[in-house]
Amino acid sequence: MIPDQIVDAVKERVDARALFARHLALRRSGSGFVAACPFHEDRSPSLRFYPEQARFHCFGCGARGDVFAFLQRLHGKSFPAVVRELAVEVGVPLEEPPPGPGERMREEIVAACAAAQDLFEDALWSPRGAAGRSYLLTRGISEATAREMRLGFGAGDLATSGELAVNTSRRGLLLAGLVAEQGEALRERFEERLTFPLHDANGRILGFAGRSLQTGTFPVYLTTSENAAFKQARVLFGLEQASASVRRTGRALLVPAYFDVLACRQAGLDHAVSGSGLSFQQLGALRRRGARRITVVASPDREFDPGPALTAQVFLSGASVWVASVPPSGRYRSAESFLRASGRAGLEALEAAALPLSEYLIGRALHAKASVGARVEGRLAAIGWLARYTAALPEGLERDVLERRIAERLALPLRTVRRATRDAGERRAPVSSGPRPSLSGRFRR
What is the third-level CATH fold of 4-90? DNA Primase; Chain A (3.90.580)
The Cα-based distances of 426 to 34, 345, 388, 396 in angstroms read: 54, 47, 11, 17
pLDDT tens column, 302-337: 778 888 888 888 888 778 999 998 887 667 778 898
Compute the mean pLDDT over every residue in the chain, rounded to the nearest whole number: 85
Tell me the pLDDT band of 81, cut-offs 50, 70 and 90. Answer: confident
Out of 3.30.70.60, 2.20.25.570, 3.30.465.10, 3.40.1360.10, which CATH number does the structure's domain 234-358+436-440 have? 3.40.1360.10
Which range (51-55, 188-192, 430-434) has the least confidence? 430-434
Helical segments of 229-356, H only:
239-249, 258-266, 280-288, 308-317, 335-352
Q: Which residues pair with 277 in a beta bridge?
A: 440
H or E stretch at 198: strand 193-199
pLDDT higher than threshold 60 for residue 374 = no
Give me the residue spans of the domains in the chain. 4-90, 101-228, 234-358+436-440, 363-425
What is the third-level CATH fold of 101-228? DNA primase DNAg catalytic core, N-terminal domain (3.90.980)
**How far apart are the C-alpha atoms of 365 and 305, rounded to whole Å?**
11
Tell me the pLDDT band of 439, cut-offs 50, 70 and 90. Answer: very low
* Rounded (10°) CA dihedral 159, 161, 163, 168: 30
pLDDT tens column, 99-144: 667 778 888 999 999 989 999 999 999 999 999 999 999 999 999 9
Report how far Cα 434 is from the mean position of its chain's Cα atoms.
Answer: 21
**How far apart are the C-alpha atoms of 421 and 392, rounded to whole Å?**
9
pLDDT of residue 273: 95
